[in-house]
Amino acid sequence: MWTYEKRLQYPVKISKPDARAAKIVITQFGGPDGELAASQRYLSQRYSMPFKQVAGVLTDIGTEELAHMEMVSTIVHQLTKDLSLEEIQREGLDTYFVDHTVGIWPQSAAGNPFTASYLQSKGDAITDLVEDMAAEQKARTTYDNLLRLIDNPEVREPLKFLRAREIVHFQRFGEALRIVLDNLNTKNFYAINPEFDLTRPKGGNK
């Protein structure tokens, strides 16, 4: 169960529309390293995670990603809301406009639609947490690239906040991975998959 709070995690108040910025920021909504993929990755992985603390990390970071998705969508909305048709055509947003007007739709900067293949839920604790750590770094690099391309401080401030959260999440997933390893055979971390073999009498073998 989730409850909704009518507020953003960090304020977004952009006074000047900018189609070019909107076209690239939207990738952190529905692109390969975006917040939609992040939230679904962590919230899907948690069910088979046998370590309570790690399931907590996945739940709480996954929930925070939903708030980040709302922030990114808000940035794109405020950047596009008051665009003129001339600006939309001149700055190349017409290819988005024709399908979505200025509604918010999950796609990458290059226009690829969101797909579940951007994320993995492998049912193996080490595999999933290493994916999660990589995902946080990929998102951090994407925010770094957006910050190289965007000058407006009203857009940069929330992007800087989101970038900093990727680093904190990377740290927490690293700690979660350590918790998993501490619970495994230190001579061979791969002797069993704790998400499959622990609850089966003969392990997961035939």
Partner 1 sequence: MDKMSREALMKQLQVQSFAIDDIKLYLDTHPTDRNALDFYKKFKKLRDETYREYTLRYGPISAENVFVEDSWTWVETPWPWERWV
Which residues of this chain interact with partner 1, rule CB under 8 A? 3-15, 53, 56-57, 60-61, 64, 70, 73-74, 77-78, 168-169, 172, 175-176, 179
On whether the CB atoms of residues 57 and 180 are closer than 8 A, the answer is: no
Q: How far is the CB of 50 from partner 1 (least distance, A)?
A: 15
- 13/123 Cα distance (integer angstroms): 40
Shortest Å distance, C-beta 182 to partner 1: 11
> Using CA atoms, how far apart are residues 174 and 4, in angstroms rounded to an integer?
29
Question: Closest Cα partner for 161 from 30, 71, 89, 80?
Answer: 71
In the complex with partner 1, the residue whose CB is nearer, 11 or 203, is 11
Shortest reach from residue 138's CB to partner 1, in Å: 19
Would you state the structure tokens that stand for residue 84, as one six-digit string?
């003129």
Handedness of CA 39, 40, 42, 47 (dihedral sign): positive
Cβ closest to partner 1, residue 22 vs residue 32: 22
Q: Smaller CB distance to partner 1: residue 74 or 183? A: 74
Query: How many Cβ atoms sit within 10 Å of the Cβ of residue 135?
Result: 24
- Other Cβ atoms less than 10 A from the Cβ of 91: the count is 16
- Smallest separation, CB 154 to partner 1 (Å): 10
Which CB sits closer to partner 1, 23 or 169?
A: 169
| DSSP assignment string, 56-69 | HHHHHHHHHHHHHH
**Measured from the CB atom, is 1 or 98 closer to partner 1?**
1
Min dist CB 169 to partner 1, Å, is 8
What's the half-sphere exposure (Cβ side, CA atoms, 13 Å) at 29?
A: 23
Nearer to partner 1, 12 or 24 (CB): 12
Shortest distance in whole angstroms from residue 136 CB to partner 1? 12
115 SS3 class? coil
